[in-house]
A = this chain, B = another copy of it.
Amino acid sequence: MNIRPLGDRVVLKRVEAEETTKGGIILATTTKEKPQEAEVMAVGPGGVVEGKEVTMQVKVGERVLFSKYAGTEIKLDGIEYIVVRQDEILAVIDK
């Protein structure tokens, strides 16, 4: 990727709902704030963000759950990505 996120930002590529992970996670459909599954595409350097030291805990290629309403969508070569802050990522799904 040609995009380099600043601070604690992470670039995600949403994983389609049809696609099932090895861990078999399926997103709940009964709650209003549904978490979203995505793949990590690019990770910011962390460091001091808003005056606080942030260590990045996710890596490129990992699957993560993040809040549906988090982040900003961008498009690269026709593919949609989402830029979120690391704190908006709930969990990593180990495979």
Contacts and interface: CB of A to CB of B under 8 A. Distances in A.
Contact of A7 (B27, B45, B57): B57
A3 B31 contact: no
Nearest to A83: B90
A21 to B, nearest CB: 8
Contact of A91 (B3, B47, B55, B75): B3
Contacts of A5: 90-91
Nearest to A78: B26
Interface string A66-88: 01000011111110100100110
B27 A92 contact: no
B73 A4 contact: no
